[in-house]
Amino acid sequence: MPCYPKIVFLRLLIRNYKSEQNMYWTLELASKLEDAPWPATKDELIDYAVRSGAPMEVVENLQEIEDEGEPYDSIEDLWPDYPTKEDFFFNEDEY
């Protein structure tokens, strides 16, 4: 899991603790799906989460998704507020 500044993590955790469907995503939970076989359907993501040993909260969140039968292209389709590199205040070229 990438190392994020503590304040950013806490802000995201508080802001996104509960979503509209009783799901909650944290950076730690969402990171369990980073290596999922994208694009993937709901059932494929659940299967991947179970096989990879993801926490039960990940499986429960995936089960609560309203399935439209369409594959999801990335974690951003499941959690629109998933942080990207632009959300952090550092210049990658400096490292």
- Show me where the domains of the chain are located: 22-80
Position with higher pLDDT, 83 vs 56 = 56
pLDDT band at 69 (very low <50, low <70, confident <90, very high): confident
Poorest-pLDDT segment among 7-11, 43-47, 53-57:
7-11
pLDDT over 90, % of the chain: 38
Q: Read off the pLDDT of each residue in 71-85 and give the average, rounded to a whole number.
A: 85
Distance in angstroms (rounded) separating the CA atoms of residues 38 and 56: 20
What is the rounded average pLDDT for all residues in the chain?
A: 78
pLDDT band at 25 (very low <50, low <70, confident <90, very high): confident
Distance in angstroms (rounded) separating the CA atoms of residues 88 and 91: 9
- The separation between CA 27 and the C-alpha centre of its own chain, rounded to angstroms, equals 6
| Per-residue pLDDT, 73 | 94
Strand partners, 40: 72
Angle at which helices 42-51 and 56-63 cross, to 10°: 170
- The separation between CA 93 and the C-alpha centre of its own chain, rounded to angstroms, equals 26
CA atoms within 13 A on the CB side of 93: 0
Distance in angstroms (rounded) separating the CA atoms of residues 23 and 64: 7
Position with higher pLDDT, 58 vs 66 = 58
Strand partners, 72: 40
